[in-house]
């Protein structure tokens, strides 16, 4: 599964009433879904550079 789900699940498991619901585990084939992490990293890098 994408988006670092393996890191988010244990973190949310420590909090009551919080969980991750994967609606369509096979829906990761869409280009926009696969490109989302790249976009987040790119935007984060730009924000980090502005604040430096």
Which two three-digit tokens encode residue 35? 């490109």
Q: Is residue 26 part of a domain?
A: yes
More confident residue, 46 or 31: 46
Q: Is residue 3 part of a domain?
A: no
pLDDT band at 16 (very low <50, low <70, confident <90, very high): confident
Total domain count for the chain? 1
Buried b (16+ CB within 10 A) or exposed e, 27-41: eeeeeeeeeeeeeee
The range of the structural domain enclosing residue 39 comes to: 22-52
Q: Is residue 30 part of a domain?
A: yes
pLDDT band at 2 (very low <50, low <70, confident <90, very high): low
Q: Is residue 4 part of a domain?
A: no
Could you report the per-residue pLDDT of 17-41, keeping only the tens digit for each? Answer: 877 777 776 666 667 667 778 888 8
Residue 8's CB is within 10 A of a number of other CB atoms, namely 14
pTM value is 0.38
pLDDT for the residue 21: 74
């Amino acid at each position: 599964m994408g988006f670092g789900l393996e890191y988010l699940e244990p973190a949310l498991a420590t909090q009551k009433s919080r969980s991750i619901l994967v609606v369509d585990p096979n829906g990761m084939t869409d280009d926009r879904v696969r490109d989302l992490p790249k976009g987040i990293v790119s935007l984060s890098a730009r924000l980090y550079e502005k604040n430096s």
